[in-house]
Amino acid sequence: VIRCKAAVIWAVGKPFSMEEVEVAPPKAGEVRIKMVATGICRTDENLRQGLFPNSDFPIIPGHEGAGIVESIGDGVTSVKPGDKVILLCVPQCGKCIFCLNPESNFCLKAHMFETQCVLPDKTTRFTCKGQQIHHFMWVSTFAEYTVVPDCAVAKIDAAAPLDKVCLLACGFPTGYGAVINAAKVKPGSTCAVIGLGGVGLSVVMGCKVAGASRIIAIDTNSNKFPKARELGATDCINPNDLKKPIHEVLIEMTGYGPDYTFEAVGKLDTLAAAMTSCNPSTGMCIMAGDPPAGSMLTIDPMLLLTGREWKGTMLGGWKMRDSVPKLVSSYLEKKFNLDVLNTHTLPFAKLNEGMELLRAGKSIRTVLLF
């Protein structure tokens, strides 16, 4: 058993509390990891607010992390102690009907099918003050040590800087993959991106790489516009400055609506705007944001009758265990600039300071170092 620091949310709405926890050794098919770096994502705050589905408290959050394998349980062959790894918040078991489908990146072990607040044997490896603490999406990266199933970890190049590539666990692949894998944006097309956080800016990067002729970036925080333009946005719009709804403005700007719209906020009104604004015949709306658990959206089905497509994407469509090592290699080869998303770096002890930067809209990604 290893005793270490971890951030615990004791109940819905409670703050992130730094505690000493006990981390049990890995059982068969499990890996214990010494964390090196983790990003702060809006989903971690959504979890605290009770907006993430199928979550049990108390819980250790965090899901965008990288570290070094400390020990392995029986039967684990994909990694060994000392390996650099990225933790996967969407597992890839490699055996289920979805993993075996080349067009799918989902997995029957993912949180929408199987709880990931306990490990596959229905127990946890965390205790604190004599109480069991739940896992978050099997990874719980807001801890100095964590235990995950081997299907939720990927070995990466030993040359990779973990404080940089930890962002390949969630935000960047979600946004970039939404363009490259889900939408398959065509050269010369028009794209609109609603929300310019880590996911939205990664969408902008993907649209530029795909050869989009016009990239319209939309956010209520105009401070994000210089970075969006740096990454390829041709137009920047703050809906608070408009006298008309954003979907009407987008249609006016493009004639019949953008060819592709990307929703990277996770709110129902922005999702509805993304749907309504895209081209009524050949347009595609990609949902990359994380809407509140249990929320319901009402739309006019006529929006789809004329040919519009509405599509969701989980982590950008990447089969994570297969794709993350390749994304790391692409980063090392400078095929994309991941570093631009990292606006703040803090020690793990300053997690709450990083969360305040997120809430205030002052950060894109804050990376915590252990």
pLDDT at residue 263, rounded to an integer: 98
Intervals of the chain under pLDDT 50: none
pLDDT digits (tens, 9 = 90+) for 100-111: 999 999 999 998
Tell me the whole-structure pTM to 2 decimals.
0.95
pLDDT at residue 77, rounded to an integer: 97
pLDDT digits (tens, 9 = 90+) for 170-184: 999 999 999 999 999
For residues 214 and 66, state if they share a domain.
no
Q: Is 325 helix (H, G, I), strand (E, B) or coil?
A: helix
The structural domain count of the chain equals 2
pLDDT at residue 38, rounded to an integer: 98
pLDDT at residue 53, rounded to an integer: 87
pLDDT at residue 331, rounded to an integer: 97
For residues 257 and 349, state if they share a domain.
no
pLDDT at residue 294, rounded to an integer: 86
For residues 33 and 126, state if they share a domain.
yes
Q: Is 248 helix (H, G, I), strand (E, B) or coil?
A: helix
For residues 301 and 322, state if they share a domain.
no
For residues 349 and 287, state if they share a domain.
no
For residues 255 and 365, state if they share a domain.
no
- Residue 239: give its domain's CATH number: 3.40.50.720
Residue 177 lies in a domain: no
- Residue 92: domain span: 2-171+317-369
Give Cβ neighbours of residue 130 (< 8 Å, ≥ 6 apart). Answer: none
For the chain, percent of residues with pLDDT exceeding 70: 100
CA distance 68 to 306: 51
Strands (E), 94-238: 126-128, 131-133, 145-149, 153-155, 190-194, 214-218, 235-237
Mean pLDDT taken over the chain? 96
For residues 274 and 125, state if they share a domain.
no
SS3 content of the chain, % helix, strand, coil (to 5): 30, 25, 45
